[in-house]
Amino acid sequence: MYWIINDNIEFWPEHRKLISVHNADLNVVLTTPASRCLSLLLEAFPDVVAQQ
């Protein structure tokens, strides 16, 4: 499963990757904590996520 963010970025949590929709050469691998944080924020949207 992956998310499309702002119609520009694909987020692949199982690979911890952000990839440009328009240019697949533009990509970055997130750290595990950063990927987990982004996943939590996207899963909870539009609710606020507590720090715990």
* Residue 49 within any structural domain of the chain: no
* Residue 14 within any structural domain of the chain: yes
Domain coverage including residue 13: 1-30
User: Residue 6 has which token pair?
Assistant: 């702002």
User: Residue 22 has which token pair?
Assistant: 């328009």
For position 7, what pLDDT does the model report? 98
* Residue 17 within any structural domain of the chain: yes
For position 51, what pLDDT does the model report? 86
33 with 14: CB under 8 angstroms? no
pLDDT per residue over 6-48, tens digit each?
Answer: 999 999 999 999 999 999 999 999 999 999 999 999 999 999 9
21 with 12: CB under 8 angstroms? no
The total of structural domains in the chain comes to: 1
* Residue 47 within any structural domain of the chain: no
User: Residue 4 has which token pair?
Assistant: 């499309």
For position 49, what pLDDT does the model report? 92
For position 52, what pLDDT does the model report? 75
